[in-house]
Amino acid sequence: MTLDELRQQCLACQQCPLAVTRHHVVFGVGPDPSPILFVGEGPGQQEDLQGEPFVGPAGQLLDEMLSIIDLSRRNCYITNIVKCRPPHNRDPLETEQEACIGFLRQQTRLLQPKILVCLGRIAAMRLIEPGFRITRDHGRWYQKGGLWMTALFHPSALLRDVAKRPDTFRDLKGLQAKIREVLPDFYG
């Protein structure tokens, strides 16, 4: 299966009730394969309307965060735990995550990233460990079967609470150091 075939499957998905209310499935964006994978929580209103992850206000901030360490949508892949918008931007339900997580697993297998960055607690609890506490554990590194994983505060949290931004700046610098260590050719 190619990433494009997986995208086609995902676009037709009816496995949970979010399929009824969505305007677009938001599969993901970025190079294939991709050495770095960012995973958010789920599409918001703008993402649902446009079919692309992180294009609303949080996305603008994410782009700025990426550019601090010379990353962009062109050199890393961005997706979400659930591919369809939960109504009113509520947290995706356990059942919705469960119905959708297979797409992320297959994306990860196909993209072959060496570094996976969770954006916010929902992704971190799902992908790193259920007891993950974003306030305590952001910026820490975990290794799972050859994949390095960490979590940053979600950009929406950084929009609400600017006091979190200095920590995120340090976490981004930690990410840059890990990229240099694990992917020595990445920055050329």
Provide the b/e sequence for 19-39 (b: ≥16 CB within 10 Å): eeebebbbbbbbeeebbbbbb
Structure tokens at 91: 């947290």
Tell which one of 28, 30, 35, 42 touches ligand URA (CB under 6 A).
42
Q: Could you list the beta-strand ranges (E) of the chain.
A: 36-40, 77-80, 115-119, 142-144, 147-152
Q: Which is nearer to ligand URA, 51 or 186 (CB)?
A: 51
- Distance between CA atoms of residues 171 and 86, nearest Å: 28
CB of 18 to ligand URA, least distance (A): 13
* Interacting span for ligand URA (CB under 6 A) from 54-62, 94-102, 103-111, 140-148: 54-62
Stretch that binds ligand URA, among 2-10, 36-44, 94-102, 177-185 (CB under 6 A): 36-44
Min separation Cβ 142 and ligand URA, Å: 20
| 153: region left, alpha or beta (phi > 0 left; psi from -120 to 50 alpha) | beta
Residue 82 vs 99, nearer CB to ligand URA: 82
Q: What tokens were used for 46? A: 């703008």
Binding mask 80-119 for ligand URA (x = CB under 6 A): x--------------------------------------x
- Angle, nearest 10°, between helix axes 165-182 and 57-68? 50
Shortest Cβ 155–ligand URA spacing (Å): 7
Cβ distance to ligand URA smaller for residue 35 or 53: 53
One-character DSSP codes across 89-102: GPPPPHHHHHHHHH
- Residues that bind ligand URA in the complex, under the rule CB under 6 A: 40-44, 47, 53-54, 58-59, 80, 119
